[in-house]
Structure 1
C-alpha cells in the first residue's frame, strides 16, 4: 500500500521535477542534458551490463576503485555507471573515459524504471552506500537481477527515519541479494530495519583502499612549489557547504593574526557555488587566487579550488585538512583521503554520516575535533606552531588507513561470486 502511494506521489511530482530540471539547466546546461535517460529512455547496449549506481560525486568517487578492480579482474566486462547529478556523471567520465558506459539514473517511477531495465538489461545492480529507491529495487528483483548494496552505511539518524516507513523499507531490504556493510554498527542497523541475516556481511569500507599514486604525489608537490614560491603553512577546508564558508574564513582571519603567511585552500562541495564563495572571500577583505584561472597563490591569503576532480591532489599539498560538512548538520564527508596522504585531519562536531570512520581515526590518535570558527582557529594556530605534533597526527592517520585496507578485494570477490 505504502509502495503504491510512493509511486503515485512520484508520478504526480514528476512534471514539477522536470520543470525544475529545465529551470536549473538555464544556468547549468549539463544539468538537463540526457533528460531522456531520466525518463528511462537510456541507450540500448548490445549485451547485458553490470549497472553501478552512484547518486552524486561522493558516491562516484567511492565507486571508482570498485569499477577499476572489476575491470582489472574482467577486462571485457561491460559496466554502466549512472548518477543522479551532472557533476557525478562528469566525474565518472573523467575517471574512466571510454572504458565504461554512462547514463543518468531513471527517476524512480515504475514506467521510467521499466523502460530503463528494458533497454539496459542489467545482469547485476550495484548500489553504492545507502541509495534505497523502491521502484529501482523492486522491479530489478522481479526480473531476477541480483542487487548488491556496497560500502553500505546507515547512521542511527537514518535508521530511525527508515523505521518510520517500515512497511515500505522492509520489503526492499528483503529484495537485496547482498548488503556489504562498512562496520558492525551498520550491519546491526540494516538487520534492525529488515535486512535478512544471510544477506548481510561486514566487509569494511572500500574508502580505506584509496590509492595515492606516484604521479599524483609529483603533481601535488609541483603545484605547491609553483603556487607558493616560498615555504608557508597551508591548510585546506574541503567540501564546504553554505553556512561553513563564513566560519572558515573567520578562522583564517584569526589565524593570520599570528601566522600572516598562512594560506587557506578552500574547496566548495558543489561547483555551482564556486563564484559565490569567491565573492564571499573578496567581501571578507582577503586576497584571492583561483585554481580555474591558473592564478598563483603567492602573496594571496586564500586559494579557491574551483575545479572538478582535483580534491585528492589538493589534499596532498596541505599541512592540515578540515573535512567540511561537519561545522553544520550535514553529517560530514570522507576523511580518509587526507588521512591517506598522512595529513592531519580536523573536523567539526557533525559527522554522523561517517561516524565509524571518525571513531577509528580518533581511537588511532589521528583526529582533532573543533566546534566552531574560534576553536578551529585555535587548533590551527596550535598545530602550525608544533610541526612534530603535526607529523605525529599525520603518521597516525596514515596508520589507520593502512590497518583497514582490504575491503575492496572482499567486495569484488563477493560480487564476482554472486553474479
Structure 2
C-alpha cells in the first residue's frame, strides 16, 4: 500500500521514536558494554578538533562489518588517487567501528553516523564539512541526504543493492523514496535486478550505473589465510565451517552435525554466530547438549577430542573459512536472507546454503550456475549433501575451482566505482 510521507512527517515520527531507539541501545549495552560508549557521537557531539578541516573531505558510510570489508579496497584505491583529501569512514554498529580501527588505524578518521534528526545531521556536516558523501549498499536517510545536498555535497550510492523485500518496503513510501534517490549524483547498482528496482522507484537513468559487487574484490588477509591453512594442516581432519549463523539456525546446523558424526566421527564443526551478543548463549547451548567444545576467544587448543570450535571472535571469518573443507553460510536456513556467500568463495571453498537467499540473490545465481554452490531445503538435506561432499573429494575440488573462477570473472567493480567518485570530484572543476 502506498503511504504518502514527506520529510517533515518522517522527521516528526523519528523524533517520537528516539526514546525507543535510546532504549534499544541501552538494552543492547547490557550484553555488549561498547554500546554504552561514545553515545554523544550518535548525536554528533564531538570534542574540539576531532576532524581535520584543512583538506577537502570525503565521507564513506558503511553500516556494519560486511559493508566495511566491501569498502576497504575502494577506500584504499581512492586514498592513492586522492592523497590531498581527508577520509572519514562512519559506521552504525560497534562491530563495524571496531573493524575500522583494526583495518585502517589512523589512516582514516572515524565516528558513528549520527541519528537522522535534523540537529544531529547538521552538527555532523558542520564538523566534517564533506564535499563527497559515499553511502555503501543501501542506507537511505532522508535528513542526511537533504542537508548534505543543501550544503552542495556530492552524493553517491555505491555497491548498491535492493532486494525484492527492500524494494517493496521502499515502494510503500514512494514519494519520499523518489526524492531521496533524486538527490544522488551517481548510483552504482550491483546487478541488473537491483538497477531495475531503482528505476521503478524513480531513479533517473542518467544517474544509474551497473557495476557488479565490490565484495568480489575483497582483500585477502594473508595472515588469516596462512593461519587457517596451518590449522587445517595441523588437525588433519574434515572441517565444516558454519559461518554467520542466526538465532534458531544453530539448532538446525547441530541436527545435521549429529547425523554426520555417525559416519564422520572425526568431523570438526567451526560454528561462528553472526552477532557477538549471542556468543555466550550459543556456548551455553553447545555445552548443554554435551558437545566437547573450545572457544576461539580463549585461545584454547583444538585437541582431537574436541567436536566444535566456537568462533566467538570478530574479524576472523577469513581465518575460519580458510581452514574449511566445506562452508555453510548462515541466515539461509531461517528466513533472514543468507549472509555473505562470497566470503568462502573468494577463498575457493565450496558453499552450501539454505533456501533463504534474497540478500544475495544475483550472486547466488552466479555461484549456482558455475557449480560452486549447492542449496538445501532443511537440516536433513544439509546433512545428506555434506555427507556426499565429504566422501567425494573430486566433487569438492570441482566446486572449489568453480568458486575461484566465478570470483575471478566478476572482479573489477571497485575500479568502476572509484571512477564514479573521481568524476564527481572533477565535474565542477
1:50 touches 1:123 (CA, 8 Å); kept in 2? yes
Q: CA deviation at 1:17?
A: 2.0
Q: For residues 326-374 of structure 1, what are the alpha-carbon distances to aligned partners after superposition, in whole Å with 9 as ceiling and x for unaligned?
A: 1111111111121111110001100101100000111111111011111
Aligned to 1:400: 406
Q: CA deviation at 1:76?
A: 4.1
Worse overlay, 27-36 or 232-241: 27-36
Aligned to 1:315: 321
Worse overlay, 343-352 or 69-78: 69-78
Does residue 29 of structure 2 align to residue 21 of structure 1? no
- SS of residue in 2 equivalent to 1:108: coil
* Equivalent position to 2:16, from 2, 12, 28: 12
Q: CA deviation at 1:294?
A: 1.1
Q: CA deviation at 1:284?
A: 1.8
Aligned to 1:131: 139
2:372 touches 2:400 (CA, 8 Å); kept in 1? yes
Q: CA deviation at 1:68?
A: 1.7
Q: Report the TM-score when normalising by structure 1.
A: 0.96
1:285-324 correspondence runs (5 A): 285-298=290-303, 299-324=305-330
CA RMSD of aligned residues (A): 1.4
Aligned to 1:171: 179
1:263 touches 1:301 (CA, 8 Å); kept in 2? yes
Aligned to 1:111: 119
Does residue 61 of structure 2 align to residue 56 of structure 1? no
- SS of residue in 1 equivalent to 2:133: strand
* Equivalent position to 2:355, from 343, 349, 353: 349
- SS of residue in 2 equivalent to 1:169: helix
2:31 touches 2:277 (CA, 8 Å); kept in 1? no
Task: Report the number of matched residues.
Answer: 416
Q: CA deviation at 1:78?
A: 1.3
Q: For residues 17-74 of structure 1, what are the alpha-carbon distances to aligned partners after superposition, in whole Å with 9 as ceiling and x for unaligned?
A: 2233234324422112211111122434323421111111221121122112212323
Does residue 372 of structure 2 align to residue 369 of structure 1? no
- SS of residue in 1 equivalent to 2:130: coil
How far apart, in 1, do the equivalents of 2:24 and 2:278 lie? 18
How far apart, in 2, do the equivalents of 1:213 and 1:30 lie? 26
Closer/same/farther in 2, CA of residues 90 and 173 from structure 1, 3 Å limit: same
* Equivalent position to 2:52, from 35, 45, 49: 45
- SS of residue in 2 equivalent to 1:238: strand
How far apart, in 2, do the equivalents of 1:171 and 1:76 lie? 33
Aligned to 1:253: 258
Aligned to 1:241: 246
Worse overlay, 203-212 or 91-100: 203-212
1:45 touches 1:119 (CA, 8 Å); kept in 2? no
1:198-237 correspondence runs (5 A): 198-212=206-220, 214-226=222-234, 228=235, 231-237=236-242
How far apart, in 2, do the equivalents of 1:20 and 1:163 lie? 27
Q: For residues 294-353 of structure 1, what are the alpha-carbon distances to aligned partners after superposition, in whole Å with 9 as ceiling and x for unaligned?
A: 112222111011111100121101000011111111111111121111110001100101
How far apart, in 2, do the equivalents of 1:189 and 1:27 lie? 37
- SS of residue in 1 equivalent to 2:105: helix
How far apart, in 1, do the equivalents of 2:20 and 2:402 lie? 49
Q: Report the TM-score when normalising by structure 2.
A: 0.94
Worse overlay, 76-85 or 163-172: 76-85
How far apart, in 1, do the equivalents of 2:281 and 2:9 lie? 39
Aligned to 1:269: 274
How far apart, in 1, do the equivalents of 2:14 and 2:45 lie? 18
Q: For residues 145-165 of structure 1, what are the alpha-carbon distances to aligned partners after superposition, in whole Å with 9 as ceiling and x for unaligned?
A: 111111000111211111111
Aligned to 1:73: 81
Q: For residues 226-273 of structure 1, what are the alpha-carbon distances to aligned partners after superposition, in whole Å with 9 as ceiling and x for unaligned?
A: 5x2xx1110100011101010011111111011000010011111111
Worse overlay, 23-32 or 303-312: 23-32
Aligned to 2:205: 197
2:338 touches 2:360 (CA, 8 Å); kept in 1? yes
1:41 touches 1:119 (CA, 8 Å); kept in 2? no
Q: CA deviation at 1:282?
A: 1.2
2:59 touches 2:88 (CA, 8 Å); kept in 1? yes
How far apart, in 2, do the equivalents of 1:75 and 1:82 lie? 19
- SS of residue in 1 equivalent to 2:306: coil
Structure 1 unaligned blocks of 5 or more: none
How far apart, in 2, do the equivalents of 1:382 and 1:291 lie? 29
